[in-house]
Amino acid sequence: MKRIVTALLLLVGLSVHLQAQSVLSKYGNDFLSVGAGARALGMGSAHVALTNDVTSGYWNVAGLATLERPEFIYMHSERFGGIVGYDYGAAAFPLKTQGGVFGISFFRQGVDNIANTLNAWDAERGENGGPKEDAESYITRFSAADVAILLSYSKKYNEQISIGGSAKIINQRLGPFANAWGYSLDVGVLLRTDFVDVGASIQDVTTMQKMWTVNEEEFEGFEETFGDSIPNAQNEYVLPSVRLGLGKQVSISDFDIAAALDFNFLFENRRAYYLSLGRTSIEPHAGIETTYKNRISFRAGLTDFVDDPVSGFSVSPTLGLGLKVSDFYLDYGFTSFAGASSTLGYTHRISLKFEFRKSD
């Protein structure tokens, strides 16, 4: 335990030192706000206190401690009319020798097949320049993608309290032109009581550090052709954020009912959300789920509480369905079918989870 605390203090000290040489990146890890698993989307992304499966590596790593057998999940999501693709996969394994649970999570959000026309422009052609002859042969394609990997570990402190932590590594890449590597830690705690479940999760508790590099060779002739300077690499940091949640689960005859309320606290001086206290913005999430005979689930929720100066206040309802067949869980989530956000297209998520049977 002393070694862990010492390592954490060293990491925090290094992060503070690097932060002094970097600039604050608002929305720096916003691609991770999409979430993990279609079940949570259907419930308005209110999941910090309810999470109890392989997706806990994202929502609240402490929830992994409840797993008794290995689980795997994969999810695909598309946003903005299919322009932006989002893929998530995770696996979790109980460790019999240590009594904890290890998990690994993978995230990728990207726009693929983007046309690179830099080499197709001829500055000497015509008065103001123009495309080269046979310009199509000079056009190449690239992807802009954000990738994250979480390595998680969680353990029960006692029968009511679980704790956990995740090492986070991210890579953001703008084709061959620039890329960044970043790292940080997430921590979480979960309290189960007979009255209500309480969850708390801190993302980037050590402050996320991102180091950018620019491939200047890919910008050869850029200044001469377009008159703009080559972009400079700039290190960035992302401040910690906090998720707090309440959850309640009850059983009535053949029905299991779960309800949750979450609040995400961000400290980047965002102004887009309905609740704002100085530099702190608050994102509420609410959701409910009804499951019949542990086979089929119906979900609904509320998310994206936004006070826009142009369109006014809006909120996005969510809907979801779940089906359990043997050891497979198929979930579907849907949002952005009302309010201003619908102009940007709908969000569909489908996830498939598998859990191993317990050995006799």
pLDDT digits (tens, 9 = 90+) for 23-75: 877 777 788 888 899 999 899 999 999 999 999 999 999 999 999 899 999 99
Residue 145 forms part of a structural domain: no
The parent domain of residue 13 ranges over: 2-112+151-355
Question: 2-16, 43-57, 156-170 — which is least confidently predicted?
Answer: 2-16
Residue 119 forms part of a structural domain: no
Confidence at 126, pLDDT banded by 50, 70, 90:
low
Question: 51-60, 112-121, 246-255 — which is least confidently predicted?
Answer: 112-121
- DSSP per residue over 5-47, as a string? HHHHHHHHHHHHHHHTTSEE-TTTTGGGGG-S-HHHHHTTT--
Residue 18 forms part of a structural domain: yes
Confidence at 106, pLDDT banded by 50, 70, 90:
very high
The model's pTM is 0.81
Distances (CA, A) of 187 to 52, 71, 96, 98, 355: 16, 21, 22, 19, 25
pLDDT at 256: 95
Residue 187 forms part of a structural domain: yes
Q: Which two tokens stand for residue 250?
A: 């009850």
Structural domains of the chain, count:
1
Q: Mean pLDDT throughout 266-295?
A: 83
Q: What is the CATH number of the domain that holds 315?
A: 2.40.160.60
Confidence at 120, pLDDT banded by 50, 70, 90:
low
Residue 122 forms part of a structural domain: no
pLDDT digits (tens, 9 = 90+) for 53-63: 999 999 999 99
**How many whole angstroms separate alpha carbon 237 and alpha carbon 22?**
6
Residue 132 forms part of a structural domain: no
Residue 125 forms part of a structural domain: no
| Mean pLDDT of the chain, nearest integer | 81
Question: 75-79, 236-240, 309-313, 336-340 — which is least confidently predicted?
Answer: 336-340
**Helix (H), strand (E) at residue 57:** helix 56-59
Q: Mean pLDDT throughout 257-263?
A: 96
Is the pLDDT at 213 greater than 90, yes or no?
Answer: no
Residue 133 forms part of a structural domain: no
Q: Mean pLDDT throughout 213-236?
A: 66
